[in-house]
Structure 1
Amino acid sequence: MMASSKRTKKVRKPWNPDNALLKTQPWRIKALFDPLLAIVDQLECDGTADIQNDGTAVFKDVVDGYWYESYTAIMGVVDVFEIHEKRAGVVIDMEPLRRLASKLKNDVDILLCDTEDCRACFNRMHSATLRMTVGYASGLIRDTQIQEQVERLKEAA
């Protein structure tokens, strides 16, 4: 009688990049936070913000080299994290960034306490981001873009 041998093979789930945690992809987190930090760094360092000829506060993205409106960029991030707050049932408190964006838009003096509050907000946002998956974060961005389009259509109507 011949002994039978049973071979077992581990079945691995196929790689799904959407399930990867953002903490394993620090370049994505860096791309989100670096422009915001650069705005705050410049405000703290020399008390200025880059301004276009029409008075609009802007920043230069070091990744693509293009200039973007600071208010719009900051509020886009605020919108994304506010959706996350609602979905995850967490409180990040995006008010410091909302206040900074408003002050930049309306050319109001920005105080050191404003930038310090923003840095504390960045820390809370960063902590939340580390626990997100790529797919979840992409979904937040997509849902924010849809929300913005819906608001534009409402304004146009």
Structure 2
Amino acid sequence: MNNSKNNQAGGVMLLVLIIMIIFIVIASATLRYVIRQSHETIDQEQEEQAFNAADSGVSYVYWLLDPAGGQKVVTDIQAVTKTVYDDLDAAIGTFTIDDIVTDTNEIEFTSTGRDIALPDRCQVIQVRLRQVEANERHVLTDWDNLVGYPCS
């Protein structure tokens, strides 16, 4: 009788050990998955902030050319780098306006946005604006997010 109890206790111990091993394997796989998802979410957030900074550069040039805004003409637009802030006045990134090509009533430029935390993360937007009539706002004629464009 005593021998039977020892066998049952050993069987229960073995069962508990197997369940614990399965739990540890599942827990470690879940933890790896959560960590990977966290890194991907952070990377995606940095890409979005870089894109928002580049889009701010496009808005900045559009404002400069607006008759009610900066009141500039296309030949006045020069390469510039500016910092972009969020609603709480925290810097989220920078944009650089460059590769400027102008015509009498048209401008083409590149806006490169960079995340403030990871400057090697960038988004590049190439834009063409055209003014149809004098003293009118410029119209967006071409907008291209250059995915995979090198951050130089």
Q: One fold, TM greater than 0.5? A: no
Normalized against structure 1, the TM-score is what?
0.41
Normalized against structure 2, the TM-score is what?
0.42
The higher relative CO (CA closer than 8 Å, separation ≥ 6) is in: 1
